[in-house]
A = this chain, B = another copy of it.
Amino acid sequence: MHNYMQKLNCPICIHRTQCFFNSLTEKEYDFLGANKKEVNFKAGETIYKQGTESKYLIFLLSGMAKVYVEGDNGKLFILELIKPFQFLDIPSIFEDDMLHRSSAAIVDSKACLVDLKAFKSIILGDKKNVPRLIKHYNHTQKRYSTRLTNVIYKNMEARIADSLLYLVNEIYFSRDFTLTINRTDLADLSGMSRESASRILGQFKEQDIIKIKGRKIEVLNKKQLEHIARFG
């Protein structure tokens, strides 16, 4: 098991000891548990597609997944990486149950599907459950703003720096990590072509900002990376 698993920081999760669902009563928890399914996904497999309906709340139990928006040309832009005990997505509940983003497994993963009706009844059943859900939406919105700003205003160097800092601070919790994602994913996370991402990485390596050995990356100069992320 990767060590990034040890230090989870998810806003909402179903792991009994953490986040969202830990505030549920025993009864609520059992009710949700009775209305869930577990599904396995192989690396690369699509978990769900934007524009489709889902009767389930989806979150990850093991592995890693990417959540992304996709264009007609088949290209995709990764919004965030999802680790175990985080929601992959909540459909548009109280509306049309649609999903507005897509998701795929990066490594072999297991997801848990909770019946949406059961979830709704839990949310509406006790007002103490509402704030956590709202927090989730705030978190998502904030992430969207960041991603949008990132891709609109920053040059490629800043975008790759941003992605590396995201991996250090929010995914692997270490300056020294082995990527679970490939270069194409890193490029999609940074909103550029695979080749451009590769070039920038080489450039950072040349400047001794990072050290690369295949999928092993070590951030040598985080301060400078932060500066590049800010000013390009």
Contact = CB atoms under 8 A, between A and B. Distances in A.
Nearest to A77: B152
Interface in A77-114: 77, 79, 92-95, 100-101
30 contacts: A69-B145, A69-B152, A70-B149, A72-B231, A73-B153, A75-B153, A77-B149, A77-B153, A79-B148, A92-B138, A92-B142, A93-B138, A94-B131, A94-B132, A94-B134, A94-B135, A95-B138, A100-B141, A100-B142, A100-B145, A101-B145, A125-B127, A130-B130, A133-B134, A134-B137, A137-B141, A141-B141, A144-B144, A144-B145, A148-B148
A216 interface: no
Contacts of A131: 93-94, 124
Interface residues of A, number: 42
Copies in the complex: 2
Contacts of A123: 130
Contacts of A79: 148
A230 interface: yes
Contacts of A154: 71
Interface of A: 50, 69-73, 75, 77, 79, 92-95, 100-101, 123-125, 127, 130-135, 137-138, 140-142, 144-145, 147-149, 151-154, 191, 230-231
A148 to B, nearest CB: 6
